């Protein structure tokens, strides 16, 4: 019996990784639910009937997955859902304020910088580097 060692395949190949198993059981989310989530995203705030189950507990389970942001309803907080008498309703509410990256408002930076420049150096254009110090002077 020969103990052969396999050489690993090493080398860069540009390729996207396989799609992550999204529902924890090794399956992709139901295609119909993916389509419903996409349609709800097009109409923010509008409630839609997502599914009807014979069992209220099944409807409640789906409603819980929607609320937690499980695929394809993520990230958490983008959808609200509720189940009534075995029927699941959901609506897209968008990302919550803490999920949205806050973009700083730089519209006031230039006027403040110019005012500081005028106060320190005097009236006139600012240099490209933001200061008027002559670094080459001996």
84-103: pLDDT as tens digits: 999 999 999 986 544 445 54
DSSP secondary structure code for residue 17 in this structure: P
- Per cent of the chain over pLDDT 70 is 58
Task: Show the CA angle centred on residue 49, arms to residues 47 and 52, nearest 5°.
Answer: 155
SS3 of residue 88 by DSSP: strand
Average the pLDDT over 14-18 and give the result.
Answer: 75
> Residue 124 contacts by C-beta under 8 Å, 6 or more apart in sequence?
118
Largest Cα separation within the chain, whole Å, is: 88
């Amino acid at each position: 019996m020969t103990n052969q060692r396999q050489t690993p395949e090493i080398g860069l190949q540009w390729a996207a990784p396989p799609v992550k198993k999204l529902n924890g059981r090794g399956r992709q989310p139901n295609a119909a639910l993916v389509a419903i989530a996409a349609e709800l995203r097009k109409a923010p705030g509008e409630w839609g009937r997502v599914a009807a189950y014979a069992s209220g507990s099944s409807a409640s389970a789906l409603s819980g997955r929607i609320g937690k942001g499980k695929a394809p309803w993520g990230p958490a907080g983008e959808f609200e859902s509720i189940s009534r008498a075995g029927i699941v309703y959901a609506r897209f509410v968008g990302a919550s304020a803490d999920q949205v990256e806050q973009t700083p408002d730089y519209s006031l930076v230039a006027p403040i910088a110019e005012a500081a420049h005028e106060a320190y150096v005097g009236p006139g254009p600012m240099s490209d580097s933001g200061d008027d110090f002559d670094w080459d002077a001996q």
